[in-house]
Structure 1
């Protein structure tokens, strides 16, 4: 079967008929080749993000098979690396963007306006300015507004293009309370007001094309009932909007498809999610849209880090590494579990397994990747791999403690490419340095 997206990108989904062993539902950390990963650190230094583009394509293909009649947009916020955006768009996906910067990245990756959707959440003025300017050159771009006030602000800027409304369905799900968006007041117009808001927008000349909602991030199979109820509410709303305003082009039920971070967790039953989605949404005269992010990239990425310190503390062995909460924020921010593997200990030499606390170099007690986890005894100079780092890894990296952000490499077949160079301290301080230099240039007499 051949699937053609709205912008003409064609993908051969027959390739997904291969045995499931060739495209398993999850790639575990132990499935990565230890010697090849260590060689990447030898060549590129540490910490280092690694992203396998072939695995990205496999994950997209699985989604395309499960949702053959749906429009798939990749949620750029999961990982916005330009090389990745080019890869996923060429595979057939559109790009869902949460900021003006992501819209700029999507267009730079070669996506036409018809494949780009901007979902505005309390957008700063400069974001709206940038996106409306982009719309002038890409009139098929779609803006999703999550507040009536945002619609007014778009009108003030002369925008009367393709408008989607984000609604709040009053139900949320996900791996952590901080990412359950479906019922959070921050997100979307209350569903009971959506028809009136869209009718008013249509009267004002906007091209009303869709409705959107997102239940949350990291939804697992056991939360399928919440997902089904959420989608059912979206189907009911779509029919109400069609009766009052006219047929919609699409109904977007977001993404949030979870992946198993723990070694003993089963992968998401994607076919069951797809079937439940189709059943719950019911009969609508519109295209179903989904926006997976984590599912596409999480298990396609690992973070590599060097052991620099091994310390016997009172109650545990502390293993210090050169990555920290500035490199991968999820454990500190959400208490998230990531699998960890000592690649050097895989060389065949038997090592005793001992409980270890893997800690970074940041001056915060929360800067730990795990506490008392049973791992082969670490030694200074070992290379550790942290799994499922392809989603919300580099995207949440920061420069706290004046720490430069890491480099990123991508794998494609037998090829390894540096996709993002490592930052330097000069990079971190450059804006300040330029400011001081500008002051000196403008005030030569003071020399300050």
Structure 2
């Protein structure tokens, strides 16, 4: 891997194996980001593959005896997956498409887990077909019905049972999975589901996940409660036959400029303590933690409109490029890369070109007042940024490049957006 190295940690910043624990937006080299925007245009995602590797190393350092798997849904790009694989992490996949991406990126079957959530028939068909070539692949099921559907397809391989522990946590109600009935078999029914599965499959693990963006005492307490419940269940049903107990991921990153870093080593110690003595390997599956601060979104100001309440900075990126602010009211740091020292500041609303009121990256935030043509950087865009991009309003999706300048995903064209369409006559 190549690319500009992450900057050194600031004085007093907590560090761990794998580089600085926090990478703030201010630490990205403005000159380099200007060069990339000039070469590739905007909107543009920039991904630092070296930072991906650093984050993987820090996770492995905090969880040296655990099986660390990357939640692929956070960023499925081939270069990122290859970096994760080279760093020694496995791949936890939420769809058949993600399984295919992981295999194509070189993950061996024994490092790929498919966590099937109400899986469509075509997904099961595909994964079972690939399992025949990769028999060490593991399928995690969250419903007894899914066991039946796998058996109907001739699958008799490795199965992990996902449990709903009744404990949820995370940064937004839409990502708190641990108590949502959509995910996993009810905790009190898990032993009978495990017994049923053992009659037909090779049951190798148990799985649960509290949610995404876990941070703060309340969230960490919920995570600790989940892990403890999974330890109890493993001791009840394990009987020496389980390979692993997967307690999910969801480890947070500091989106706000003043938020502290997650004490990953403390979380790891707490996780091991809560799990207790089990005859199985602890497994975790972080996604956001691996890639969030390894990516920024660059966008160019095209319209500046003063209003009595705020200066509206219209930019060429929108909710189709980065959905999190519109969907979760998520905060992302924003930096004007053209602002000079002493530039006037005031309440600024950064708004995209989509015909929706919610298409804003911030509302009335205290920022350097931009001018037309200024380049803005949106921080922590590496997780669930490009992955949630869409073509709403017939807007092609942005390009993605590495910090070294390699094109990782080409910019979509309007012809690409419409390539699958046909007229009413089939032409």
Give TM-score, length-normalised by structure 1.
0.90
Q: Does the CA contact (< 8 Å) of 2:310 and 2:346 recur in 1?
A: no
Within the candidate set 344, 369, 384, 2:338 is matched to 344
Query: Is 1:333 equivalent to 2:320 in the alignment?
Result: no
Matching residue of 1:208: 203
Matching residue of 1:239: 235
Query: Is 1:192 equivalent to 2:179 in the alignment?
Result: no
Matching residue of 1:360: 352
1:257, distance to aligned residue in structure 2 (A): 0.3
CA distance in 2, matches of 1:20, 1:129: 45
CA distance in 2, matches of 1:20, 1:273: 15
CA distance in 2, matches of 1:439, 1:365: 36
Matching residue of 2:45: 49
Matching residue of 1:259: 253
Q: Does the CA contact (< 8 Å) of 1:79 and 1:394 recur in 2?
A: yes
1:344, distance to aligned residue in structure 2 (A): 1.0
Matching residue of 1:407: 399
Q: SS where residue 416 of structure 1 aligns?
A: coil
Matches within 5 A, 1:2-41: 20=15, 23-41=19-37
1:437, distance to aligned residue in structure 2 (A): 10
1:349, distance to aligned residue in structure 2 (A): 5.5
Matches within 5 A, 1:434-445: 435-436=422-423, 439-440=426-427
Give the gaps of 5 or more residues in structure 2.
Answer: 1-13
CA distance in 2, matches of 1:226, 1:120: 24
Count of aligned residue pairs for this structure pair? 412
Q: Does the CA contact (< 8 Å) of 1:355 and 1:373 recur in 2?
A: yes
Matching residue of 1:268: 262
1:224, distance to aligned residue in structure 2 (A): 1.6
Matching residue of 2:129: 133
C-alpha distance after superposition, 1:74-125 (max 9, x if no partner): 0000000011001100110000000000000000000110010000000000
Matching residue of 1:446: none
CA distance in 2, matches of 1:315, 1:106: 48
Matching residue of 1:280: 274
Name the CA shift for 1:249/1:177 in 2 (closer, same or farther; >3 Å). Answer: same
Matching residue of 1:9: none
Matching residue of 1:398: 390
Q: Does the CA contact (< 8 Å) of 1:53 and 1:84 recur in 2?
A: yes
Q: SS where residue 420 of structure 2 aligns?
A: helix
CA distance in 1, matches of 2:153, 2:226: 33
Within the candidate set 94, 104, 112, 1:116 is matched to 112
Q: Does the CA contact (< 8 Å) of 1:221 and 1:269 recur in 2?
A: no
1:438, distance to aligned residue in structure 2 (A): 8.5
CA distance in 1, matches of 2:417, 2:21: 39
Give the gaps of 5 or more residues in structure 1.
Answer: 1-18, 441-448
1:351, distance to aligned residue in structure 2 (A): 1.4
CA distance in 2, matches of 1:65, 1:102: 26
Matching residue of 1:323: 317
C-alpha distance after superposition, 1:62-85 (max 9, x if no partner): 111110000010000000001100
Matching residue of 2:10: none
Matching residue of 1:417: 406
Q: Which moved more, 1:158-167 or 1:219-228?
A: 219-228
CA distance in 1, matches of 2:245, 2:77: 27
Name the CA shift for 1:95/1:41 in 2 (closer, same or farther; >3 Å). Answer: same
Q: Does the CA contact (< 8 Å) of 2:309 and 2:347 recur in 1?
A: no
- Name the one with the larger helix percent: 1
CA distance in 2, matches of 1:257, 1:221: 11
Q: SS where residue 431 of structure 1 aligns?
A: coil
1:20, distance to aligned residue in structure 2 (A): 3.2
1:350, distance to aligned residue in structure 2 (A): 3.4
CA distance in 2, matches of 1:330, 1:131: 30
Matching residue of 1:443: none
1:313, distance to aligned residue in structure 2 (A): 2.2
Structure (1 or 2) with the larger CA radius of gyration: 1
Query: Is 1:385 equivalent to 2:377 in the alignment?
Result: yes
Q: SS where residue 324 of structure 1 aligns?
A: coil
Matching residue of 2:87: 91
CA distance in 1, matches of 2:246, 2:271: 11
Q: CA RMSD in A?
A: 1.3
CA distance in 1, matches of 2:426, 2:316: 36
Name the CA shift for 1:418/1:191 in 2 (closer, same or farther; >3 Å). Answer: same
Give TM-score, length-normalised by structure 2.
0.95
